[in-house]
């Protein structure tokens, strides 16, 4: 490391309100104490080497070692005289976007930025060997598909590289030249990148690519997987249409069973309810009717549980197919998503109707039990008559019977 940098690092902790300028100058304030001979020696040495070009006190320029009394000094620092020193990782990225200096030190420490910057440099070096056009003079590369997309190397910041180390090794392995289909892999990665970047301003492209490198990599892997499986969207639609017919057939079969239950259960309930007779106590006829009705409803409920198992099987098959379809997503899969949505909608309606049947079965069973109790308990019968009492007509009571005279 240069001697000037080592000297400046001794002074740097005492600087405050440090501001980096776009032109490479650094402005800072320093609280000067004329009694501190060591600091005065550092200031003089840095001034003589050109690192600190100006000392100002209240807009008046002063020169070491005659810096006056105690007080704040405004320093103008030339970062060009400090080779390998950077205030932040953003300034390091700006001056060395694709290759780190042999020796450097960054004042604003950050392990995440350090690892991210190293990963960014490795990625850009890797892209140099892959990109269709590389402009070293202009510090930019071009990805060419149907059109050429310019990507300036300085169009990223340190915070956009934080996630890079996680995905870099996977990307480099995927794009390794040792693969027999290396050209196809690069084409898929380039296509996924251009899909993300082509509509962005060029000043934002590289940063957005680094932030979304994981998504771009996943998309490239998906496309490559489809390529290896000789996949086409029409084949997927044909496959789903065949499975969808089976799904719909199973759902319609369950629906037909549910509809039969919806018709049979009320009819059976009213036939049983009609046979109940109010009595003073428990009678065999009412008990047998109630037991038979409950067994009938229990049998239908058990059948509904079997229908629920079949419906659950249809659900699992739909989930498996939907998971597989998401792995093979393409730009034209909107139609397939709509077909899946309609099938899920039909599944939801059948499932809801099945739960309605189960609720009605439980409700009818409860009413039969209540009817049995009512027909067996006299107090309940007096409170709420089961049927209207037979009335005697007035004309019948007023008729006089005249006996015949022998």
**Residue-level pLDDT at 27:** 92
Listed residue (221, 227, 234) closest to 333, CA to CA? 234
pLDDT value at 226 more than 80: no
Average pLDDT value for the chain: 77
From its phi and psi, is residue 17 left (phi > 0), alpha (psi between -120 and 50) or beta? left
- Going by pLDDT thresholds of 50, 70 and 90, the confidence category of residue 397 is very low
Choose the weakest-confidence range: 321-325, 362-366, 379-383, 401-405: 401-405
Distance CA 252, CA 365 (A): 27
pLDDT value at 383 more than 80: no
Give the CA distances from residue 160 to residues 19, 110, 170, 309, in Å, rounded to whole numbers and listed in that order.
Answer: 22, 13, 18, 50
pLDDT value at 28 more than 80: yes
Choose the weakest-confidence range: 61-70, 85-94, 275-284, 380-389: 380-389
Beta bridge partners of 85: 105
Choose the weakest-confidence range: 89-98, 239-248, 385-394: 385-394
Let me know: does 107 contact 152? Beta carbons within 8 Å: no
Rg (CA), the chain: 43
Distance CA 83, CA 2 (A): 7
pLDDT value at 232 more than 60: no
Highest mean pLDDT among 1-15, 110-124, 259-273, 345-359: 110-124
**Residue-level pLDDT at 116:** 92
Mean pLDDT over residues 155-176, rounded? 90
Report pLDDT digits (tens) over 89-118: 988 888 888 888 888 899 888 899 999 999
Q: Quick one: DSSP state of residue 12?
A: G
Let me know: does 307 contact 254? Beta carbons within 8 Å: yes
Between 314 and 178, the more confident residue is 178
- Going by pLDDT thresholds of 50, 70 and 90, the confidence category of residue 333 is low
Listed residue (183, 169, 182) closest to 213, CA to CA? 169
Highest mean pLDDT among 107-111, 261-265, 346-350, 395-399: 107-111
Let me know: does 76 contact 27? Beta carbons within 8 Å: yes
- Going by pLDDT thresholds of 50, 70 and 90, the confidence category of residue 138 is confident
């Amino acid at each position: 490391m240069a001697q000037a940098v080592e000297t400046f690092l001794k002074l740097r902790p005492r600087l405050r309100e440090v501001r980096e300028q776009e032109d490479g100058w650094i402005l800072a304030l320093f609280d000067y104490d004329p009694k501190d001979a060591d600091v005065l020696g550092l200031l003089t040495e840095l001034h003589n080497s050109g690192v600190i070009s100006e000392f100002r006190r209240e807009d008046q320029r002063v020169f070491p070692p005659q810096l006056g009394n105690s007080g704040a000094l405004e320093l103008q620092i030339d970062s060009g005289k400090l080779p390998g020193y950077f205030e932040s990782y953003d300034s390091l990225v700006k001056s060395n976007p694709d290759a780190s200096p042999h020796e450097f030190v960054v004042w604003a420490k950050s392990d995440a930025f350090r690892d991210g910057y190293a990963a960014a440099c490795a990625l850009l070096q890797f892209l140099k060997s892959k990109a269709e056009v590389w402009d070293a003079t202009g510090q930019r590369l071009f990805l060419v598909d149907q059109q050429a997309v310019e990507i300036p190397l300085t169009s990223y910041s340190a915070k956009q590289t934080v996630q890079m180390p996680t995905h870099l090794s996977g990307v480099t392995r995927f794009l390794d030249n040792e693969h027999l289909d290396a050209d196809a892999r690069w084409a898929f990665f380039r296509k996924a990148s251009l899909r993300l970047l082509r509509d962005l301003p060029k000043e934002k492209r590289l940063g957005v690519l680094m932030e979304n490198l994981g998504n771009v990599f996943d998309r490239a892997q998906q496309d490559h997987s489809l390529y290896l499986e000789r996949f086409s969207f029409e084949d997927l639609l044909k496959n789903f249409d065949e499975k969808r017919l089976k799904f719909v057939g199973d759902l319609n079969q369950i629906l037909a069973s549910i509809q039969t239950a919806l018709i049979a259960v009320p009819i059976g309930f009213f036939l049983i309810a009609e046979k109940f007779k109010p009595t003073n106590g428990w009678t065999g006829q009412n008990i047998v009717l109630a037991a038979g009705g409950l067994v009938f409803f229990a049998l239908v409920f058990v059948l509904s549980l079997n229908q629920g198992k079949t419906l659950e099987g249809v659900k699992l098959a739909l989930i498996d197919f939907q998971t597989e379809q998401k792995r093979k997503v393409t730009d034209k899969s909107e139609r397939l998503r709509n077909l899946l949505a309609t099938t899920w909608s039909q599944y939801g309606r059948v499932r809801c109707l099945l739960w309605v049947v189960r609720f009605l079965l439980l409700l009818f069973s409860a009413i039969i039990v209540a009817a049995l109790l009512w027909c067996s308990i006299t107090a309940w019968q007096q409170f709420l008559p089961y049927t209207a009492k037979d009335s005697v007509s007035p004309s019948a009571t007023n008729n006089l019977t005249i006996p015949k005279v022998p």
